[in-house]
């Protein structure tokens, strides 16, 4: 089983691509909706929440975990990988979503000005700026914290006029910088992708992070057969949330565009 963890619904934008491109694997999705958003919390709190999620998913027999949350990836992943896994789960793997995105953008020719939007914690960590400069030192990077977008997605407010106005206000400073590519530094944001593309304009490329992350996972699985993650004739798919089941199923089915059958409320 492959575990996917997010602070809420955002990771479904990644899982959607996994189910389409890697359909023969088993997945467990954990959304910590009760404590979302993570972006306005301290690094210690985010680390502890992430550790609790990882414990839960490994207890449920996951052999690999994708932290499909940019905030958790930027604030907790490195410490999890360097300190917690060797002590608590030697041989287990936990991957994030920042590095694949940075590699994809840095490898694109004729891109010199890049914008990044994300939660306050992700932007203040400078994680994308650090990774992008490592990979392509000449890049100009402009970052913008967009803290209202996660709550809007969590509430299912995707196409409301108020949401479009907020997106426009957030993106205007980046448009003025004439950025050529915009990184959606939060897995909640692809659910706003159509509106973001319209507002930022056709001269700026905007990738769906899920498309990039699934390609990265596919390569990773082929390189690491020792993890023992095998295909199966029938796909196993389970969902867990720390909040209301009815709301998770209703909103999650809209985002995934398919039925959610196995769903359980848990407390971390």
Catalytic residues: 69, 186
Q: Whole-angstrom Cα distance, residue 190 to residue 179?
A: 19
Beta bridge pairs of residue 94: 65
3-state secondary structure of 264: strand
3-state secondary structure of 247: helix
Sign of the four-CA dihedral 250, 255, 257, 258? negative
**DSSP assignments along 57-84, one per residue:** HHHTT-SEEEE--HHHHHHTHHHIIIII
Q: Whole-angstrom Cα distance, residue 26 to residue 92?
A: 17
Q: Whole-angstrom Cα distance, residue 9 to residue 150?
A: 9
Token pair in block for residue 247: 């709301």
The H or E element spanning position 102 is helix 98-106
Residue-level length of the chain:
268
């Amino acid at each position: 089983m492959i575990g996917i963890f997010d602070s809420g619904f955002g990771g479904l934008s990644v899982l959607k691509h996994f189910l389409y491109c890697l359909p023969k694997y088993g997945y467990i999705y954990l959304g910590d909706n009760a404590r979302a958003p993570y972006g306005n919390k301290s690094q210690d709190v985010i680390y502890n929440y992430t550790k609790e999620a990882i414990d839960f998913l490994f207890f449920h027999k996951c052999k690999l975990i994708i932290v499909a949350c940019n905030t958790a990836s930027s604030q907790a992943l490195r410490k999890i990988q360097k300190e917690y896994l060797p002590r608590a789960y030697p041989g287990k793997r936990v991957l994030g979503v920042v590095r694949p995105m940075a590699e994809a953008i840095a490898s694109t020719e004729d891109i010199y000005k890049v914008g990044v939007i994300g939660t306050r914690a992700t932007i203040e960590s400078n994680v994308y700026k650090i990774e992008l400069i490592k990979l392509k030192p000449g890049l100009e990077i402009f970052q913008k914290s967009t803290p209202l977008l996660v709550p809007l997605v969590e509430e299912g407010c995707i196409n409301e006029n108020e949401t479009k106005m907020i997106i426009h206000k957030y993106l205007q400073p980046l448009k003025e910088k004439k950025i050529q590519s915009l990184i959606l530094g939060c897995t909640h944001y692809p659910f706003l992708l159509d509106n973001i593309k319209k507002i930022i304009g056709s001269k700026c490329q905007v990738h769906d992070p899920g498309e990039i992350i699934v390609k990265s996972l596919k390569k990773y699985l082929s390189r690491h057969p020792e993890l023992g993650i095998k295909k199966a004739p029938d796909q196993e798919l389970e969902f867990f949330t720390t909040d209301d089941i009815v709301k998770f199923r209703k909103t999650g089915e809209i985002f995934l565009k398919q039925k959610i059958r196995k769903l359980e409320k848990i407390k971390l």
